[in-house]
Structure 1
Amino acid sequence: MSYGNQGEGGYGAQPSGGGYGQQPPSGGGGYGQQPPSGGGGYGQQPPSGGGYGQQPPSGGGYGQPPGGGGYGQQPPGYGPPSGGYGAQPPGGYGQQPPDNHLVAAILTTIFCCLPLGIVSIVKSSQVNQKWQAGDYQGAVEASEEAKTWWKRALIIGIIAEVLLVVGYFVLVAVLFSTVPTTY
C-alpha cells in the first residue's frame, strides 16, 4: 500500500542535506561519526571530560554538603535544642506542672462572680505560659493566685446568693404584712 510518491521529494522523503539528528557536514566525518579533529557536533560531549551529567572532580554532587555527610543530616547547631517527644518538662527532672485551676475559674466566673472569675481565668492561663517558658517558680505563684481569685469569687458569689434569698424573703414578708386582710 502506497501513500503517494515516496521517491524524491514525496511524503516521507529525507531532505538532501541530511536528516534529523545527523551531524552537520562541516564537522567532518560521515553520518553519526565523530569528527577526527575532536570538534563539536550535535549531541557530542566536549573533549575536556566535563559535560552534563558528570560529577565534578571534587567528589561532591547534588544533595551532599561540602563537609561530607549524606541526605537528611543536619550540621551541628541545627534542630531542636533539647527533647522532642518524651523529653523532660522544662521545669526540671520529674516535676509536674502545677495545677492551673482553670475549671474552677470558669465555673466561678459563670455561676458566682463575673469580675473576680475573669481575673482567676487570666491567672490560670499564666500558669501554663510560665511553665512552658521554664519559669517553675512563676508558674507556682500564678497557680496560687488563680486559686485565691476563684475562691474569692466563690465566697462573694455565695454571699451574694444568700443575701438575694434573704432579701427575697424580707420583700415577701413586707408585702404580705402591708396587705389588709379581709375576712
Structure 2
Amino acid sequence: MGWRALLRVVDFQSLLSSQPLVASALEKAQHAGGPKSPEAKALRESYYLLAKVLWTRRASIRRIHDLAWLDHTVVSAGARLGRVWENSDGSRSIRAAEETLPPGISPELFPQEGSNWIEVPVQAFSGISPNVKLERGVSNPFRVGIVPEVRLRPWYEAVTTAKFKAPPAAVSVLGEIEALIAAARRAGGSSVALVFAASSFEDRLAE
C-alpha cells in the first residue's frame, strides 16, 4: 500500500478561476499524446471538477484532495508553496508532527476521523453565494485538513512553540508548516488556506 501527502498553500479564488489555464494545458496534452492519453484524461477531469465546484459552491473531501494536487502540479506548479511526503518515512514524519501539536488545534490540519464543513470566500457569478463550502476530514482513502486564513496566526504560534519540544521526525514537517503559514500570511486574502491532502493507494508493481 502506497501513501502520499501534500502540504500546500492554496488560494481558492485563484484556483477555482483557473479553467482557462487548465484548458490550455489540456490542449497541449492532447496534441502531444492524443485525447486519450493519461495526462489529457486527468486534465479533462480537472477542468470539469473546477466547473462543478464553482457552480455548486461545494467541495467534498475527495474534491479538495484533487484540487490541491491540481494546484500543485498544474495551476501553480512553479510556486514554491507546497511539499510532498511519501510512503512510510513520510507518514512517520507527519504522524510525529500531529502528535507534537496541541490536541485542540491539530485536527484542523490533520483530522483523525469524521468531517466538517468550513466556508471560504470565492467570488464567481453574480447572484450566487460568495462563499464556497469546503469539507475537511477523513473519507477513506482520503484525508484532508484545511486551515483557513482566519486561523493562520494561532496556528503559526502553536507550531513555533511546538518545535521546541518536537522529536527529530517532526521537526521538518513543523518547519515546513511554519514556512508555508508565513507565505500564506504574506500573500494575504481571505480565500487563502493551508491544505493537507493525503491518500493511500495500491502499489502497482510491474510484472
Compute the TM-score of the two structures, normalised by the length of structure 1: 0.24
More strand by share: 2
Larger radius of gyration: 1
More helix by share: 2
Work out which structure has the larger RCO, using CA pairs closer than 8 Å and 6 or more positions apart in sequence: 2
